[in-house]
Amino acid sequence: MDTEIQSYIDEAVKKAVDEQFTTALKKNSKAAIIASKGTLDMAYPPLILASTCAALDIECQVFFTFYGLDILRKGKNAHLGVPPVGNPAMPVPVPNIIGMLPGMTAMATKMMNGWMGKVGVPTIPELLDTCVESDVKIIACQMTMDVMGIKREELIDDIELGGAATFLNYATGCNITLLV
């Protein structure tokens, strides 16, 4: 082949790989999210991120593991709680000794649900429905189910089961990876 053509190609390739890298990163953008917490406050971030990914046309999978599996439990996921203890950052800080009293978890949870509803933030089951309907793939951690003795029928439909390898194999094709 003509050496002129060769060197033109070499240069074009170098330029394309360099310059189009950011574009390619954007275009091929995929998100892999781990949801490992089961409190009401920490159930929001993975679901808000995943549903926003869907709205932005970013392919997304969420892997629910450890306490995060509660977000997928039928019945239970509509009643996740906020702990009023051990959290000096609570909007209305509650002294730990008061937060200990029976009923305080229920009260903190009611407060947070009230705030969320007032500004139109959907509930956890609503956000989950949005994710499923907009093709966010939801994966329940099989190991956590075994450890905690949770059966498939306790979880919502439209999910798959998998393990850390399932998550990592998907994550290798992603640039956005987050653990909540």
Which one of the spans 87-95, 122-130, 131-139, 151-159 is the region binding its own copies (CB under 8 A)?
Answer: 87-95
If binding is defined by CB under 8 A, does position 78 make contact with its own copies? no
Question: C-beta of 95: minimal distance to its own copies in Å?
Answer: 6
Q: At what angle do helices 104-118 and 40-55 cross, to 10 degrees?
A: 30
**Among the candidate windows 125-133, 144-152, 154-162, which touches its own copies by CB under 8 A?**
144-152
Pair 105, 83: CB distance under 8 Å: yes
Measured between alpha carbons, how far is 63 from 178 in angstroms, rounded to an integer? Answer: 10
Total residue length of the chain: 180
Residues 1-40 contacting its own copies, CB under 8 A: 1-2, 4-6, 8-10, 12-14, 16-18, 20-22, 24-29, 31-32, 34, 36-40
- Give the side-chain half-sphere CA count within 13 A for 143: 9
CB of 16 to its own copies, least distance (A): 4
Q: Is 122 in the site for its own copies (CB under 8 A)?
A: no
Choosing from 74, 78, 110, 115, the residue that interacts with its own copies (CB under 8 A) is 115
Q: Check binding of 130 to its own copies (CB under 8 A).
A: no
Angle at 70 between CA 37 and CA 152, to 5 degrees: 135
Instruction: Name the percent of the chain in helix, strand, coil, to the closest 5.
Output: 55, 15, 30
